[in-house]
Structure 1
Amino acid sequence: MAVDPRKQTSLHCLYYWAEQTPDNVYLTQPYPDGRVEDITWKQAADQVSRMAGYLMSLDLPDRSNIGLLGKNSAYWILADLAIWAAGHVSVPLYPTLNGETAAYILEHSEARLLFLGKMDGTADGWNDIKGSLPADLPIISLPLSPRDDTPKWLDIIAEQEPAKPRMPDPDDLATIVYTSGSTGRPKGVMHSFRNMISVADGLQQLFPVSSEERMLSYLPLAHVAERAAVETQSLYFGFHLYFANSLDTFQEDLQRARPTLFFSVPRLWMKFYLGVNAKLPPKKQKLLFNIPILNSVVKKKVLRQLGLDHCRAALTGAAPLSAEIVSWYRNLGLELLEVYGMSENFGYSHANRPGQARAGYVGMANPGVEHRIGEGGEVQVRSPGQMLGYYKNEEKTREDLTDDGFLKTGDMGEIDNQGFLRITGRVKDLFKTSKGKYVVPVPIENRFNHPHAEVVCVAGANQPQPCLMVLLSEEARDELERGADRSELEQELAAELDAVNAACEAHEKVAFVVVVKEPWTMENGMLTPTMKIKRNVIEDFYNNRMEDWFARNSKVVWEF
């Protein structure tokens, strides 16, 4: 199969569905006051054409870079499309950025204008960002924007006549996606429209997707994972896209959407898993799941309470998820498929296929993708979604690509005889103990699975042995704060440590587990916007405590 010529870019897709199914609802946006807005394909195309007309009237230079800042909303996607329809390039910014990084991206990208969307300063970086925006940068406020002193989207489209969109060539630059940056300054990854649509082209060869699907968009659209899995797919296949209002209403938003396809990241799959464990402890699950008559009833009830009982397939990516957790979901009856990709190939690299999934592996190469293991065990990939390069950084582009055009992923991996890829760690994550032995942290982290462990990080550079820091689930932390006895939990963590160490070589054996006090969040910089740990930030934060922890000579160290 190949890309439908009538849908050769995301913008072509919008107008295709506006013509084919004008009255079908495309976007459903909830509001803090409880109101829910439905936007049809015809209405979406009309608003995009009107905003494109307004942008054209500003006489910006051709192919100008335009910033897009805000949490996910229907209007985020409409703004993205309007930027393209006016002949410009979109530059999304994570809503959780700090002010310094946001200012850097706007300056580095030479943004001529900023669309400012859903922000409130509570679960985002608005309070820090607002003082860092260039004073001379024009701003257009989308609905739910924190600014009311700028031109507003709804006012503009009410007055502006629709313009004929400037339909792009597939090879035109569409967007510059700045990496979430677990280290150093973010890099601007340039993607063409062809790169972006390759994801939909690949998916239609792997999995039957139709206009009857439903998805919920809540992971940051500024990241390629959500842009590829949700925005691009919904536009190409013409299905209904729902949005979440807030973390507090997430379950309600999920129940409204009843997604048939669902994409999430390991941190959230873990939170769902821990939430189920809090209500239905693992021992009770094991008992109920083994009773033939109750088995399917209980599992369906669990999926219904998660809001995933209509889900045909679910994807997990952006970071490793342990094989044990993947198997738990699959045992529930949810086809959880691990996928793999990077900002540099628009997330189009590897995926597990329905009915052919292997827990612990990120799947086989997607259609059109080539893969190999290079020097030092590094995974190298050549993909139809591969970037045009890094914006204003040819040196880094040359550094990250081989002479024959493969992307150096920075991940270490193994490819088995069936073509399945297993990620074994990050090249830069390796560290040496004081004995001069290398430790690869990711496999150790993946083996540590306790029902109350939300996220873990193995550290210990220049120490005699590695140690493992664990952030407990919110429920477990709350119970301990209310004075719950921690002796049983301590015994369980120690037992889990013994089980992990049994599979480790001598120099990798973890000396102790540290139960940390400080939550790891995007706001305090310990997680990326896709909820991966920022290993260097976490290590720096705890580095001066290592000596004390080792001196305690205890299997489990408590920070509180």
Structure 2
Amino acid sequence: MSEKQNPIENRPPSVAHLFLDRVAATPDKEAYRYPVPSAGDGPDDWRGYTWREAGERVFAIAAGLMDLGVSAEERVAIASGTRVDWILSDFGILSAGAATTTVYPTTNAEETAYILADSASQVLIAEDAAQLAKVRERRAELPELKHVVVMEAEDAVAAEGDPEGWVLSLSELAERGNAYLEKHPDCVKESVAALRSDQLATLIYTSGTTGRPKGVRLPHDAWSYMAYAIEAIDLSDDTDVQYLWLPLAHVFGKVLLAAHIKVGDVIAVDGRVDKIIENLPVVKPTYMAAVPRIFEKVYNGVAAKAKAAGGAKYKIFLWAAEIAREYGKVSQENYRRTGKRTAPFGLRTKHAIADKLVYSKLRDAFGGRMRACISGSAALSPDIGFFFSGAGIHILEGYGLTESSAANFVNPGEAYRTGTVGKALPGLEVRIAEDGEILVRSPGVMQGYHNLPEKTAEVLEEDGWFHTGDIGELSEDGYLRITDRKKDLFKTSGGKYIAPTEVEGQFKAVCPYVSNVLVIGAGRNFCSALIALDEPSIMGWAAENNLGGKSYEEVVGDERTRELIDGYVQQLNSGLQRWQTIKKFRLLPRDLDIENGELTPSLKLKRPVVEKKFGHLIEEMYEGV
């Protein structure tokens, strides 16, 4: 079978091999862009690395780690937000033959120490003084941590009690590496050449929705496979500009790095979520990966802005939104039947008018060149997906897990189908168990959980089949639809099964003010919900409705706000089966967040945490029932 017929065959043992090949193939082509904050209030200055410059930096970091005594498969951790130094450090670690342990920058000191100790990380590459302080506070628990390398040079300051040489800056590490390369000019190339496909490349600790995080062991071959498989489905080419803000400690962000090296496009890197709206018109990306919450916030923001502008403009938006959904559905169905994205003349005419009034402005806000967005990590409400589809911003939903290197299924370009997560990547096998659980097997599946053989045995069969814990169904032509997490499905006391994420997604599509919603009903005789409102949206509404000057908590507690949200709950209920309907709800006094442990860093709900923290509100809804 030729490589064209089987695009994942003949792949190299590691993505480090691919990195060296890319540098050699296109040394003068731009690889990365990154922002440099300007002095004062001016816009950021965007600078770049060519592949040659990136290669020089990666070699210096790799050789610097070797000079520190890091050897093959020893762990080097990164605790940092998404930035270009994260990427170059990761490839430096891999090129040195070591393995990267990922740590979210939002992780507290206790859990950071647990991850570093469990992984036996020898070196930590920390973003700044805040990340350094976490490990300094817990240094007694980390006897194997020999050095902390700080990206921000001004923060790489030794404190009283630090061992000599324990703290150094990333620039100092690179200087040591360059000196080491002068003595051993082939050390990095030799290290990469010695890499084995089954050698540990990455330990990603699942943020998890319950319990301690588990370290997922991913070998070098997982990333090499992902690079080849993603390139084979033609999501991008070397003329694309990708905007990358996703946390690189998460597998979704990490897999994009592997694909980028194989494809050779440009990545504009900035992990500051509050800068996304500002950056998009500057970067003008052609594609971007995101989690559903970003698309929900954009949709709710546009809807709330239209409502605040007054009756006529809001009516135009509602009309345009309905046309977009209808156009998205019809054009996708026509593409499925005829291979052309068409719609009837009357709908096309309405769509053209709505495009001038609404959709074109939305596309401009995304930079004006967005060819497609990839959505993963959680389910996207189909109504929101169809809205963006009709507005000309095509969201390709995908599916994967940390344990399977992130990308298992993705929607295929023009043939995407909203409400599904697309087709299997080349080289991935899938089967649906009798209870509906999705099982997968591929080179991207983990070796197991670090130091947890019993937990590994619970999900990974000896013949390589991995139990995802998700429930789904396959169409005859191979499109997968996820219906829910196996553990999230619940049965009411009346014996009816409920898929809460399906109901939650529908509510996000009808209510422009919602941020997070949790549907409850396991063992109860009806469903209820805890609802957290998006602060900018609801405060904008409050200012227009004689609630200006009140705090967020006061606005949420006002009966007028409750009546507003009740209207949307009734709208939701009108489209549900009787046993799915929300009979009661409570508005939370604040939004859910990562800092309070209610959301994972990838913005997934930690259901048990939320139910425990707001248990008194849940009990209120079921009192006397």
The TM-score, its normalising length taken from structure 2, stands at 0.81
The question of whether the paired residues in 1 share the 8 Å contact of 2:534 and 2:591 is answered with no
Whether contact under 8 Å (1:6, 1:12) holds in the other structure is no
- 1:498 Cα deviation (Å)? 3.1
Q: Deviations over 1:453-508 (max 9, x none)?
A: 22211124443322112222222332366516977764553343334334544443
3-state SS of paired residue (1:42)? helix
Partner of 2:47: helix, strand, or coil? Answer: strand
Post-superposition offset of 1:403: 4.7
CA offset digits 1:296-327 (Å, max 9, x no partner): 334222111133x2121111010011100000
Which residue of 2 is the match for residue 304 of structure 1? 364
Name the stretch that deviates more: 496-505 or 23-32: 496-505
Instruction: Establish whether residue 142 from structure 1 lines up as the match of residue 146 from structure 2.
Output: no
Q: 2:512 aligns with which of 435, 448, 451?
A: 451
Residue in structure 1 matched with residue 22 of structure 2 by the alignment? 17
* Corresponding residue for residue 249 of structure 2: 222
Q: 1:455 to 1:294 in 2, by over 3 A?
A: same
| Preserved CA contact (<8 Å) 1:95 1:126 | no
- What is the match of residue 231 of structure 2? 204
Report the counterpart of residue 320 of structure 1 in structure 2.
379
Partner of 2:317: 285
Query: 1 CA distance for matches of 2:132 and 2:598?
Result: 18
Paired with 1:477 and 1:249, the residues of 2 have a C-alpha distance of 21
Match of 2:286 in 1: 260
CA shift for structure 1 position 292: 5.7
Are residue 333 (structure 1) and residue 343 (structure 2) matched? no
Q: Which has more helix, going by share of residues?
A: 2
Report the secondary structure of 2:470's partner residue: strand
Within 5 Å, which residues of 2 pair with 1:108-507? Answer: 108-117=118-127, 119=128, 131-133=137-139, 134=141, 136=143, 137=145, 138-143=147-152, 146-149=155-158, 150-159=167-176, 160-161=178-179, 162=181, 163-164=185-186, 165=188, 166-167=191-192, 168-207=195-234, 209-228=236-255, 230-244=256-270, 246-281=272-307, 283-287=315-319, 291=350, 294-297=353-356, 298-307=358-367, 309-434=368-493, 438-448=497-507, 449=509, 450-479=511-540, 482=543, 483=547, 490-491=562-563, 493-507=565-579
Instruction: Encode CA deviations 1:276-307: one digit per residue, 9 max, x unaligned.
Output: 22333453224456756543334222111133
Distance change in 2, residues 1:417/1:493 (3 Å): farther
Q: Structure 1 residue 210: deviation in Å?
A: 1.8
Question: Deviation of residue 11 (structure 1)?
Answer: 1.5
Q: Contact conserved, 2:397 with 2:410, CA < 8 A, in 1?
A: yes
Distance 2:593 2:174 in 1: 37
CA deviation after TM superposition for structure 1 residue 516, in Å: 1.5
Conserved 8 A contact 2:399-2:406 = yes
CA contact (8 A) 1:216 1:257 kept: yes
Partner letter of residue 17 of structure 2?
Answer: H
8 A Cα contact 1:497 1:512, kept in partner: no
**2:77–2:102 Cα contact (<8 Å) kept:** yes
Tell me which moved more, 377-386 or 485-494. 485-494
RMSD: 2.6
> Is 2:56 the counterpart of 1:46?
yes
- In the alignment, residue 148 of structure 2 is paired with which amino acid? I
- Alpha carbons 2:112, 2:134 under 8 Å: kept: no
Measure, in 2, the Cα distance between the counterparts of 1:320 and 1:313: 17
Aligned residues of 2:75 and 2:120 also touching (Cα < 8 A): yes
Q: Secondary structure at the match of 1:215?
A: strand
1:531 to 2:603 alignment: yes
Quick check: 15-24 or 429-438, which moved more?
Answer: 429-438
Aligned equivalents of 1:38 and 1:4: distance in 2?
33
Report how far residue 191 of structure 1 moved.
1.1
Where 1:151 maps in the other structure, the secondary structure is strand
| Equivalent position SS for 1:267 | helix
- Alpha-carbon distance change, 126 to 280 in structure 1, aligned in 2, over 3 angstroms: farther
Instruction: Please report how far the alpha carbon of residue 248 of structure 1 lies from its aligned counterpart in structure 2 after TM superposition.
Output: 3.7
SS at match of 2:538: helix
Counterparts in 2 of 1:552 and 1:40: CA distance versus 1, 3 Å: farther
Other-structure match for 2:68:
58
Secondary structure of residue in 1 paired with 2:604: coil
Q: Is the 8 A contact 1:468 1:510 kept in 2?
A: yes
What's the CA shift for 1:94? Answer: 1.1
Aligned to 2:106: 96
Give the letter for the 1:151 counterpart.
L
Separation in 2, partners of 1:466, 1:304: 40
1:21-67 Cα offsets, whole Å, 9 max, x none, are: 22222122213344443222111111111222221122234321111
The answer to whether the 8 A contact 2:11-2:228 is kept is no
5+ residue gaps, structure 2: 39-43, 159-166, 308-313, 324-348, 549-554
1:557 equivalent in structure 2 = none
Give the Cα–Cα distance (whole angstroms) in 2 for the partners of residues 128 and 63 of structure 1. Answer: 25
Larger-Rg structure = 2
* SS of equivalent to 1:300: helix
- Give the match for residue 28 of structure 1: 33
Assess if the C-alpha contact under 8 Å between 1:7 and 1:236 holds in 2. no
CA–CA distance in structure 1, aligned partners of residues 391 and 84 of structure 2: 32
Matched with 2:346 is none
Deviation string 1:417-455 (CA, Å, 9 cap, x unpaired) is 332221111111133445565433122212212122222
Deviation per CA, 1:320-342, whole angstroms, max 9, x where unpaired? 11100000110110121110000
Moved more, 132-141 or 204-213: 132-141
**Cα gap change, 1:292/1:373 in structure 2, threshold over 3 Å: closer, same or farther?**
closer
Find the aligned partners of 2:302 and 2:624 in 1 and give their Cα distance: 34
Partner of 1:556: none
Q: Is the 8 A contact 1:28 1:241 kept in 2?
A: yes
Measured in 1, the distance between the counterparts of 2:434 and 2:135 equals: 41
Please identify, of 326-335 and 21-30, the stretch whose mean Cα deviation from structure 2 is larger: 21-30
Q: How many aligned positions are there?
A: 547
- Secondary structure (helix, strand or coil) at the match of 2:478 reads coil
Identical counterparts, % of pairs: 29
